[in-house]
Amino acid sequence: MPQPFPSSPALQSNLEVAGRLLERFRAHPLGHYINGQAQPGSGEHFTNTTPIDNTPLGVVSAGTALEIDQAALAADAAFPAWRDIAGDARRDLLHRIADAIEARAHDIALIESVDTGQALRFMSKAAVRGAENFRFYADRAMGARDGLSLPAEEHLNFTLRQPIGPVGVITPWNTPFMLSTWKIAPALAAGCTVVHKPAEWSPLTAQLLVEIAHEAGLPPGVLNTVHGIGEVAGKALTEHPLIKAIAFVGVSATGSAIMAQGASTLKCVHFELGGKNPVIVFADADLDRALDAVVFMIYSLNGERCTSSSRLLVQDGIHDEFVERLKARVTKLKVGHPLDPAVEVGPLIHPRHLDKVCGFFERASQGGAHIAVGGTRHPSFNEGNFIVPTLFTGASPDKAIAQQEIFGPVLTTMHFSDEADAITKANGVAYGLAAYLWTKDVGRTVRMTRKLDAGMIWVNSENNRHLPTPFGGMKASGIGRDGGDYRFDFYMETKNVCIALDTHAVPTLGKA
């Protein structure tokens, strides 16, 4: 890899280890993993590149309807045995997968950083969180089928849950390892089998996940991975009649396409889609903590994060001073090689995404906003997809930079006068994923959280996740919820059983 980057012993050491780990992907095409076996695929390939300098990391098999069919058949054949395995056996196996992820967390983080451009300081935590996702659902595997007892006067009703069958999981390129575990672990805990189609811009760690799962003892066919282009492999998965449900994470327009593609086979769908999340800072807030959270929630993970707080609403009165302090922080963000542990912002995933993000710089000026910081590609690292972390000020709420998901380290700031104005501006977008509120006023907190259109609201906090809580969005941000027991509602059918006590009068017809 050419290195225009300032060197450090830690970066050198990470580069050496990453280089060794990536050798296998450079040496051999990355194939699919179907029915417990690596499969080369039908011959079509695409090249996978690193956003650090856009050089190839290897070639990847481009799955077609053929491989999707093989994977769906394998998942279908494996389903009865996996469904019927005892809950404690499923629990123990998922814990073994979590152990193996923990043992390889550093490798996973290094590969993910090179494949996606996201800084190692965040990817290390994401890999560990992948293990936590498996542990969390491992511990719930035994109770996943439990239901309710609903007694009536002359009948006893009770409910139980059973896994829905083979499911498709389609994941995006931002934090791909963690997000894949977030979808796959509960499916396996519920007793479903899975066909996973990872994003074509970040295929590598999906391969590690399926290999780790099999090394830990997962039976063949329970988790199958088919690489490929969304409109081909992903589409075939959403149309396959043996696949009962699709758990999808990605852009809202793809969600619409998947809904249409799955209509004829009546697919159940669960969508986690885009966001344009507001962070609302009132004058009475703890402004030091608010500033830290504002910077973290848009510039960490390169801003390529569904819950990023990409719109900042600051109350009149504190607006100018808060934005001045913000400018100073944004200017000092450390951009560089994602394997450098000191780096805070790495390159964007792909040249196409870089073009999309840069397109907003021109639109910001045309829309009357001021580019207070950044607004250009990074002058030091021309080979890769680096931009200068960017701050737009004085944006009008109806313009593209305040309405559309940019999905980069780019923050759009606006001001508001009072609660009503803040609600109008916060809710005035197509999305409704997350919102962040900063105030010390308890009554205002309750009033605002009642009115905000967002599936998740954090008060005086950045995005802090507690795994039992519901995760998901309203409006164009999604359908359904992840987290806790909510996930089992999607991956399982609920059955009601009604048993008579033999005391009620059964209606009689045809006796007269």
Give catalytic residue positions: 272, 306
Q: Binding to ligand NAD by residue 186, rule CB under 6 A?
A: no
Q: Binding to ligand NAD by residue 274, rule CB under 6 A?
A: yes
Pick from 71, 170, 178, 192 the residue near ligand NAD by CB under 6 A: 170
Taking Cα atoms as reference points, which of 91, 93, 100 lies closest to residue 139? 91
Q: Binding to ligand NAD by residue 230, rule CB under 6 A?
A: yes
Q: Binding to ligand NAD by residue 173, rule CB under 6 A?
A: yes
- Alpha-carbon distance of 257 to 144, in angstroms, equals 31
Pick from 15, 249, 295, 372 the residue near ligand NAD by CB under 6 A: 249
**366 — alpha (psi -120 to 50), left (phi > 0) or beta?**
alpha
CB-CB contact of 299 with 330 (8 Å):
yes
Least distance (Å) between residue 197 CB and ligand NAD: 6
CB-CB contact of 195 with 237 (8 Å):
yes
- Alpha-carbon distance of 72 to 485, in angstroms, equals 26
- Going by C-beta distance under 8 Å and a sequence separation of 6 or more, which residues neighbour residue 377? 354, 358, 386, 387, 388
Q: Binding to ligand NAD by residue 431, rule CB under 6 A?
A: no
* Sites for ligand NAD among residues 300-319 (CB under 6 A): 306
Stretch that binds ligand NAD, among 113-121, 266-274, 371-379, 414-422 (CB under 6 A): 266-274
* Sites for ligand NAD among residues 319-338 (CB under 6 A): none
Stretch that binds ligand NAD, among 22-30, 381-389, 472-480, 495-503 (CB under 6 A): 472-480
Least distance (Å) between residue 1 CB and ligand NAD: 24
- Going by C-beta distance under 8 Å and a sequence separation of 6 or more, which residues neighbour residue 476? 252, 273, 274, 430, 431, 432
Buried b or exposed e, range 373-399, using 16+ CB within 10 angstroms: bbbebbeebeebbbbbbbbbbbbebeb
Least distance (Å) between residue 281 CB and ligand NAD: 23
| DSSP 8-state symbol, 284 | T
Q: Binding to ligand NAD by residue 64, rule CB under 6 A?
A: no
Pick from 14, 224, 254, 413 the residue near ligand NAD by CB under 6 A: 254
CB-CB contact of 240 with 164 (8 Å):
no
Residue 471 or 488: the one with the smaller Cβ distance to ligand NAD is: 471
Q: Binding to ligand NAD by residue 63, rule CB under 6 A?
A: no
- Alpha-carbon distance of 88 to 86, in angstroms, equals 6
- Alpha-carbon distance of 57 to 50, in angstroms, equals 6
Cα dihedral 353, 358, 362, 367 sign: positive
Pick from 117, 163, 191, 250 the residue near ligand NAD by CB under 6 A: 250
Q: Binding to ligand NAD by residue 231, rule CB under 6 A?
A: yes
CB-CB contact of 230 with 65 (8 Å):
no
Taking Cα atoms as reference points, which of 157, 151, 149 lies closest to residue 499? 157
Taking Cα atoms as reference points, which of 292, 373, 280 lies closest to residue 319? 280
Least distance (Å) between residue 235 CB and ligand NAD: 4
- Alpha-carbon distance of 106 to 48, in angstroms, equals 21
Q: Binding to ligand NAD by residue 458, rule CB under 6 A?
A: no
Pick from 1, 65, 251, 479 the residue near ligand NAD by CB under 6 A: 251
Stretch that binds ligand NAD, among 77-85, 188-196, 271-279, 443-451 (CB under 6 A): 271-279
Q: Binding to ligand NAD by residue 287, rule CB under 6 A?
A: no
Least distance (Å) between residue 433 CB and ligand NAD: 5
Q: Binding to ligand NAD by residue 112, rule CB under 6 A?
A: no
> Residues binding ligand NAD: what is the number (CB under 6 A)?
32
Q: Binding to ligand NAD by residue 235, rule CB under 6 A?
A: yes
Stretch that binds ligand NAD, among 95-103, 120-128, 167-175, 420-428 (CB under 6 A): 167-175
User: What x/- string results for residues 400 through 419 when contact with ligand NAD is judged by CB under 6 A?
Assistant: -----x-x------------
Taking Cα atoms as reference points, which of 150, 167, 137, 317 lies closest to residue 242? 167
Q: Give the three-state DSSP class for 376.
A: coil
Binding site residues, ligand NAD, CB under 6 A: 170-174, 179, 197, 199-200, 230-231, 234-235, 238, 249-251, 254, 257-258, 261, 272-275, 306, 405, 407, 433, 473, 477-478
